[in-house]
Amino acid sequence: MSIHGILGQQTNQYPTTYSPEILFPIARSLGRDAIIKNSPSTDVAALTVGVDWWHAFEVSWLNGLGVAQVAMARFTISATSPFIIESKSLKLYLNSLNFTKFERWDDVKALISKDLSKCLQSEVKVDLFHLEDATSRLLVVQPDGICIDEALKNIKTPLELSEHPNPSLLELTEIAVSSSASQTYCFHSNLLRSNCPVTNQPDWGTLGVTMTTKRLVSDTNMLRYILSYQQHNGFHEQCVEQIFADLTTYFAPSALIVRAWYTRRGGIDINPCRVSELSLLPKPSRLIRQ
């Protein structure tokens, strides 16, 4: 990817006045073009069904009397938006509100929504949560399904580390790879790791998959595939879309949900989710790691 902006650059001074111009968009096409190149059978439109949920834990501004207010925020961004946002620019933008006065919380929500929507050229929904409400409204949950990380004990040969994920690891060596009846698999792994394509810093997350398919799914093969992302340089959204494309190619599912809960950096966590149809879209949630 060719990416420009402030991510990875040294920040000598944080903005102390409202600075919407600091927001920096990154075209989703940069990641999706690479996916289509590697998975030519994938329809680009299939990668646009879903949302990205961002949680920000360092949101602050001043009320009319100049008293600091603090909140947690959730930004809901449609996967149809032509751009994602550079995370560091979002952090600096939110910091630029620290000494800006607002009479009402709704004014803060409206301004952030307007600025993010303009940057991403798509409507962004903004929710602000009082810290007292966060326990009930931003629940920490357990991911659905079984944890396949126990399949590590079945890996007997050393893993080959490469710069790119290896979807061929999904293939079964057994003769029988399908059955006449569909089966729904629901599982998660806490071992998703990739690298930021700008800073090369590691990003850790939990991957969740719910898939209905006639093909057999091996926990061990699936885990080996997930581990093949360990040295891959890709944004959170691109990694989830690549996994969605690979599972679609190899398993031809009648229904598919792929989502990831990434741990936070800079007070922000990113949680992309892609589904085979919008009716399958789950509710936003947080995990204990976040």
Active site residues: 196, 203
What is the Cβ-side half-sphere exposure of residue 139, based on CA atoms within 13 angstroms?
6
What end-to-end distance do the CA atoms of the chain give, in Å?
28
Q: Answer for the pair 287, 143: CB distance below 8 angstroms, yes or no.
A: yes
Q: Are 228 and 170 in contact (CB under 8 A)?
A: no
Q: Determine phi and psi for 149, rounding to 5 degrees.
A: -65, -20
Give per-residue burial for 64-82: e unless 16+ CB within 10 Å, then b. eeeeebebbbbbebebebe
Are the beta carbons of 214 and 261 closer than 8 angstroms? no
Token pair of 123 as six digits: 């409507």
